[in-house]
Structure 1
Amino acid sequence: MNTRREFFKKSLGACLALQGAHLLKPARLHAIPGMVQDDISLAQWALVEEIRAGKWKTLDFPRIAREEFDINGIEFVNTLFESPTYDYLKQLKENAAAHGVTMVLIMVDSEGETCTASKEERRQTVINHRKWIDIANFLGCHAIRTNCRGPENVDKEEALKWATDTYQQMLDYAIPANVGICIENHGGVSNDADWMVALMKTVNNRYFGSYPDWRTPSARFDNYGYLQKMLPWAMGLSYRNQPDEEASRKMIQLCRDSGYRGWYGIESSGRDAIREGKRILDKYLFN
């Protein structure tokens, strides 16, 4: 059997995902880094318009985070990796090390539905995510972020069974690689905090958690209440500037009071919003 290193050199496609052996050494001792201090990371999605316009590439991301924003961590989006071969990923690791930037996690999109009635679809979704677990392991990311939406108007009890099956299968592959799996509230059942709590309790694994997207308050979504319920399982945070600084402060204080210590990943869109987010986080986390 080929090693993962050999697979990385050739391709990180479906053939890699089908391999069962975890031959790379774990990058971390725990899926959750066990941070005792908070820190700030930058979500690549916050600058998605720039990268789609060709202004820079993912290999430049460590430099952008450090030189443009003086931010210590970066969070990738899988669909923005230009060509994730072994040499490409090796260069990305070198670039991150050169700029003193921690690679925190990979946001995984467009790799299948994790909450579906079809057993075959769930299995394929698990297989599709394996290559990103491998890449996270190689880069030293502590987790991958997934989506969990389900069909419209789905029965919540059935959805719980389907999602539990998917994530238990995914964890069978992720745990030996020492990579955590987390869910971001991107619509559907993942927007239901009580359903998410039920899923967290059912799966009941320290490698499995939440990645709360702060969003902004609205009549349809209680972002403060959602965050409050998700914090016990948070493996990261998608920080977004709130309508005013006081609202942002309250969200930050909620996280600190809960005992959360870890990364605050700025996902507010555009350079000005990123700088404003960093200013607010610096003010209320470290002063």
Structure 2
Amino acid sequence: MNRKVFLRNASAIAAACAVMPAWGKELISAKKSFFEISLAQWSLHKKLFAKEIDNLDFPAITKKEFGISVVEYVNVFFKDKAENTQYLNELLKRCKDNGVKNHLIMCDGEGDLGNTDANARIKAVENHYKWVNAAKYLGCATIRVNAAGRGTATEVSDAAAEGLARLGAYAAKEKINVIVENHGGYSSDGSWLSGVMKKVNKSNVGTLPDFGNFCIRRDGNTCAEEYDRYKGTKELMPFAKGVSAKSYNFDDKGNCVETDYEKMLKIVKEAGFNGYVGIEYEGSALSESEGILKTKALLERIQKAI
């Protein structure tokens, strides 16, 4: 391109920008956020267990009440429906009708993937196959599992790595990710769980850092030993395929009391993460709906700031 043509084109672009509507200029100048907001179904677990709402209601509630278009299921709320195509088709219809995307299924109660007994571990791995298949059917990208087990830290680490590798190999055939949450015990030790990920070394096996689940040992209802949540999140982020924004209580400025969200989300951003940050409200001072909306507002505020 010669200088004359370049100047003519530049002038045309400048003229177009001059008459462009304000909203158009905002779209061009707006920076793209490094994360999108999803809703973890556990945020509504009280209403679900009380039968006030049903799993099939979740997509519509997520979109209509909270203005969120991506959902994360918990398998306990449709535990016997993983292989029921009629039910899954109805769930897909509800999603389509409400413009909602299925992202992941959180899987509990299917056995310990870090069980040091080989036969029990293999059984646990195989128990998760149906959830891999259900995730594929629903258009999810991921299932969340637990790396639990009994034994020494090294014994459970080796067992969990083997179990996750086995499940990961099955899930890879369906192009589904398998991710582990810091969910108590050894898994809430960021160094331990990141070490397991290094042993597994599979592209579709990763982590789901949860801002609030860093209690390694409990004494009744009290956490007797807690891992540093910021250090732990930083250690898990290199393997993260999702993030769980846990919240309980809020101050009068709308900030989460337990976690510095700005500090945490900067850690997430600096890790190069681009994906979904799922709201998981577990507080009791507010209703579930109020807690979800407070968490969403906090995420959106920090999303714009950083």
Q: TM-score, normalised by structure 2?
A: 0.78
Contact 1:36 1:262 in 2 (8 A): no
RMSD: 1.9
Identical-residue share of aligned pairs (%): 32
CA distance in 2, matches of 1:53, 1:156: 37
Number of residue pairs matched by the alignment = 251
Instruction: Decide which of 244, 251, 263 is 2:264's aligned counterpart.
Output: 251
CA distance in 1, matches of 2:244, 2:266: 15
Shift of 1:59: 0.8
CA distance in 1, matches of 2:250, 2:209: 18
Map 1:124-163; keep pairs closer than 5 Å.
124-151=123-150, 154-163=151-160
Task: Choose 1 or 2 for highest CA Rg.
Answer: 2
* Alignment-derived partner of residue 28 in structure 1: none
Contact 1:105 1:136 in 2 (8 A): yes
Deviations for 1:63-99, whole angstroms, at most 9, x for unmatched residues? 0000000012110010101652101101111111111
* Alignment-derived partner of residue 278 in structure 1: 296
CA distance in 2, matches of 1:155, 1:79: 29
**AA aligned opposite 1:280:** L
Instruction: Decide which of 25, 40, 51 is 1:43's aligned counterpart.
Output: 40
Instruction: Decide which of 61, 67, 70 is 1:73's aligned counterpart.
Output: 70
CA distance in 1, matches of 2:200, 2:226: 28
CA distance in 1, matches of 2:242, 2:152: 28
Contact 1:57 1:82 in 2 (8 A): no
Q: Which moved more, 1:54-63 or 1:239-248?
A: 239-248
Shift of 1:283: 1.2
Contact 1:42 1:73 in 2 (8 A): yes
Q: TM-score, normalised by structure 1?
A: 0.83
2:55 aligned with 1:58: yes
Deviations for 1:152-205, whole angstroms, at most 9, x for unmatched residues? xx3222222211111111112100111100111111211111111111111111
* Alignment-derived partner of residue 224 in structure 1: 230
Give the 3 Å change call, closer, same or farther, for CA 211–155 of structure 1 in structure 2. Answer: same
Give SS of 1:65's match.
Answer: helix
**AA aligned opposite 1:239:** A
**AA aligned opposite 1:261:** N
Structure with the bigger percentage of strand: 2
**AA aligned opposite 2:90:** Q
CA distance in 1, matches of 2:120, 2:110: 11
Deviations for 1:83-128, whole angstroms, at most 9, x for unmatched residues? 5210110111111111111111000000001112211001100110
Q: Which moved more, 1:198-207 or 1:36-45?
A: 36-45
Gaps of 5+ in 1: 1-34
Give SS of 2:178's match.
Answer: strand
Instruction: Decide which of 158, 163, 167 is 1:166's aligned counterpart.
Output: 163
* Alignment-derived partner of residue 265 in structure 1: 278
* Alignment-derived partner of residue 236 in structure 1: 242
Contact 2:34 2:269 in 1 (8 A): no
Task: Tell me: higher relative CO, structure 1 or 2? Use CA pairs within 8 A at least 6 residues apart.
Answer: 1
CA distance in 2, matches of 1:87, 1:286: 41
Deviations for 1:202-245, whole angstroms, at most 9, x for unmatched residues? 11111000011111788623111111111111111110237652
**AA aligned opposite 2:235:** K
CA distance in 2, matches of 1:220, 1:158: 21
Give SS of 2:111's match.
Answer: coil
CA distance in 2, matches of 1:137, 1:234: 20
Give SS of 2:179's match.
Answer: strand
